[in-house]
Chains A and B, each alone.
Chain A
Amino acid sequence: MASEFAVEMRDVVKRFITPEGNEIAAVDHVTMQIKNGEFFSMLGSSGCGKTTSLRMIAGFEWPSDGEVYIEGKPMGHTPPFQRKVNTVFQSYALFQHMTVFQNIAFGLEMEGVGQEDIKKRVGRALEMVQLTGMERRRPKQLSGGQQQRVAVARALVKTPEVLLLDEPLGALDLKLRKEMQLELKALQQQLGITFIYVTHDQEEALTMSDRIAVMSKGKVQQLATPVEIYERPVNKFVADFIGESNFLEGKVQSISGTEAKIFIPALNAEVAGMLMSNQIVNGEDVVVSIRPEKLRIVESTAQGEGIFDARVLNSVYIGSDTHVYLDCHGIKLKVMEQNRISRLDPSSFYARDQIINIYMMPENTLVLKKD
């Protein structure tokens, strides 16, 4: 391998002219390095620049500025058919006038592979996506999930260094999507090639990826492993976008190492928390984030730092968990408690207007830059 990185985007900008004549940067100075053999996801809501980034790697768009490298080579204006990457399209983009076999064979024919070889390789690709026996079907005669597999097989049969997947499971129902997530992940591990996966579904990204780039407004907000992204978000956007979070506004009182004391005006109290950015300074207005499952309801007699009383607004039993909605001195909070003990006794659940105590553990209290 020529490079440690399968794909690299260096300071890439993509500008578009809107129909109104304004210039907007769909991708705004994005730099990322995607390692060989990695399952890499670009995660963000629509318009965040993830698909445009993917399309620039594929070669359907060219950067306005910056450079895309594949296997260490600058791509410049190399057309898609000369790049060692293949794409699985959101719409599958299967050729309706061809059979499944012809669809998958298409890419090999373009390479000039011999008929015998094509037969073997298409056969193997079909086996890989468990579609053996479907060779003669037309795409229209397949279910959504099967069409999706054909699209994957058609791209993988070319043995690309990098497989680009643009929301490939978007059109499937939830159950099938979960199945395909595991299948795609297994396929990636088995083949050991780099997958670059674009999705707006955070759960999907967390389930499948080795690393995730969380994107918003054309910029990479955070590029890290799923655990880091969830447990150590760098700013409020990431904490809010990935999973759920309770946010409290405050001001930094003191900093010692990676820990800080934050004054929360609404509570008229200080809480201790972990600094998520080394750029936060004393006296700065910040946001404190606590995940609902990391906020603990403690005994009503408990007292001490980080313990506050709150009133129950609502308690929702959803089987595995109970979601408790609280009013803590005017701040709305959500607590998720796992129902670890089987019981039917309603008195063990929280009643409306009941006053309880919550505990914000310092290691669960994340101090984020206000954006």
Chain B
Amino acid sequence: MLQRFRENKSWQGTFLALPTTIWLFVLLVIPLFLTLIISFGQRSPDGDVIFSFSLNNYTRLFGYSTDCPEGQASCFDPLYVNILWRSLTLAFNTTFIVILLAYPLAYFIARAAPKQRNMFLFMVLIPLWTNFVIRVYAWMMLLRKEGAINAVIGWVAHLLHIPFTPLEMLYTPSAVLVGMVYEFLPFMILPIYTSLEKIDNSLYEAAADLGANAVRTFLRVTLPLSMPGVVAGTILVFIPVMGTFIVSDILGGRQVILVGNLIQRQFLDARDPTFGSAASLILMVLTLIVTFFYTRKFGFGEEIVAA
């Protein structure tokens, strides 16, 4: 028996994958299935789940409403569609800005001397040692009306004798964007760095040797060869940004409500797990669709493993 096990590579593989498989089945597959069942249910007046098969939660998410002006039985309420749309555009914008910021930095680190490289990477990772929520609160300190940024501008304005009213920066969509970009920047820098660092110096030399200047070398050689890193980074940034609710909660207040906030409130405040479940699944489907089309176009980003 033991002998046969030793010789059978596929059994060994199964054996090694077993703990994780059980873990994922119990904590991912089953809960997901429960979420699906609950999303078809109805909320009872005292906040329990009545199991049924109803699409009400989904139609409500996409704007079907019975709470209408006089004389209409049903109408379109854009509230939740707007939230979905806002989440989607914010995730796109965040990812885009993060790429623009991360790429040059990753390039700089990858081309630095090996000793300095490790130091720079270390510096990129330092913020991750502090709790996510605390870092977002730090931004609140910076952005609020009496915060550090307003204080500095006010001080300069005072020195220059310019009248200055503190800027309203906190609780705006821009504040949420800034927070998201800040939080997720390292997750883009690392995979791009990994793919850039793998490009052999002789490829740059070969491009130059064949007549390409710096710009054309970048566009024809560096960028295509580092695309796996960009793809991996995009997946690592886009997906969490779609679902995070802490950043928008703290920096967006009641002004910027994302899908994440919606789901959180359904479960905790509104006590409607059926609607929360439906929203969760829609978020998942939306994210999967975007990721699917994205990876179909650019590949899967082997760097996601290296990162």
Q: How far is the CA of A60 from the CA of B220 in the complex (A)?
A: 19
Q: Which of A84-92, A124-132, A216-224 contacts B (4 or more CB under 8 A)?
A: A84-92
CB-defined contacts of B207 to chain A, threshold 8 Å: 95, 106
**Nearest-CB distance from B117 to chain A (Å)?**
15
Q: How far is the CA of A86 from the CA of B208 in the complex (A)?
A: 10
CB-defined contacts of B239 to chain A, threshold 8 Å: none
In the complex, which residue of chain A has the Cβ closest to the Cβ of B205?
A: A60
**Nearest-CB distance from A104 to chain B (Å)?**
10
A110 at the interface (CB under 8 A from B): yes
**Interface mask (A128-170 → B, CB under 8 Å = 1, otherwise 0):** 0000000000000000000000000011001000000000000
A172 at the interface (CB under 8 A from B): no
Q: How far is the CA of A47 from the CA of B208 in the complex (A)?
A: 24
Complex contact A106–B202 (CB within 8 A): no
A107 at the interface (CB under 8 A from B): yes
Complex contact B211–A87 (CB within 8 A): no
Looking at chain B's contact residues, is the secondary structure mostly helix, strand, loop, or mixed?
Answer: helix
A43 at the interface (CB under 8 A from B): no
CB < 8 Å: which of A89, A107, A111, A158 contacts B205? A89
B212 at the interface (CB under 8 A from A): yes
CB < 8 Å: which of A79, A95, A107 contacts B221? A95
Complex contact A81–B206 (CB within 8 A): no
Q: How far is the CA of A110 from the CA of B225 in the complex (A)?
A: 18
Complex contact B212–A87 (CB within 8 A): no
Complex contact B203–A81 (CB within 8 A): no
CB-defined contacts of B206 to chain A, threshold 8 Å: 87, 89, 93-95
In the complex, which residue of chain B has the Cβ closest to the Cβ of A106?
A: B210
B224 at the interface (CB under 8 A from A): yes
A120 at the interface (CB under 8 A from B): no
Complex contact A81–B209 (CB within 8 A): yes
Q: How far is the CA of A95 from the CA of B199 in the complex (A)?
A: 10
B265 at the interface (CB under 8 A from A): no
Complex contact A110–B203 (CB within 8 A): no
Question: Chain B interface: which size bin?
Answer: 10 to 19
**Nearest-CB distance from A89 to chain B (Å)?**
5
Q: A106-B220, A110-B216 are in contact. Are A95 and B203 (CB under 8 A)?
A: yes
CB < 8 Å: which of A81, A91, A154 contacts B202? A91
CB-defined contacts of B209 to chain A, threshold 8 Å: 58-60, 80-81, 85-87, 155
Complex contact A110–B211 (CB within 8 A): yes
CB-defined contacts of A111 to chain B, threshold 8 Å: 211
B200 at the interface (CB under 8 A from A): yes
CB-defined contacts of B208 to chain A, threshold 8 Å: 59-60, 79-81
In the complex, which residue of chain B has the Cβ closest to the Cβ of A91?
A: B202
Complex contact B203–A93 (CB within 8 A): yes
Q: How far is the CA of A93 from the CA of B199 in the complex (A)?
A: 10
Complex contact B225–A81 (CB within 8 A): no
Which residue of B200, B208, B213, B224 has the most chain A CB atoms within 10 A of its CB atom? Answer: B208
Which residue of A58, A79, A81, A86 has the most chain B CB atoms within 10 A of its CB atom? Answer: A81
Q: How far is the CA of A158 from the CA of B210 in the complex (A)?
A: 8
Scan residues 208-248 of chain B and give those whose CB is less than 8 A from a CB of chain A: 208-213, 216, 220-221, 224-225
Complex contact B220–A93 (CB within 8 A): no
CB < 8 Å: which of A59, A79, A96, A154 contacts B210? A154
Complex contact A91–B200 (CB within 8 A): yes
CB-defined contacts of B216 to chain A, threshold 8 Å: 110
**Nearest-CB distance from A121 to chain B (Å)?**
13
**Nearest-CB distance from B205 to chain A (Å)?**
5
A175 at the interface (CB under 8 A from B): no
A340 at the interface (CB under 8 A from B): no
Complex contact B202–A110 (CB within 8 A): no
Complex contact A81–B221 (CB within 8 A): no
CB-defined contacts of A155 to chain B, threshold 8 Å: 209-210
A97 at the interface (CB under 8 A from B): yes
A residues sitting closer than 8 Å to B (CB atoms) are 58-60, 79-81, 85-87, 89-91, 93-97, 106-107, 110-111, 154-155, 158
User: Given A60-B205, A81-B212, A106-B207, 17 other A-B contacts at CB below 8 A?
Assistant: A59-B209, A60-B209, A79-B213, A81-B211, A89-B202, A90-B202, A91-B200, A91-B202, A93-B200, A93-B202, A93-B206, A106-B212, A106-B220, A107-B211, A111-B211, A155-B209, A158-B210
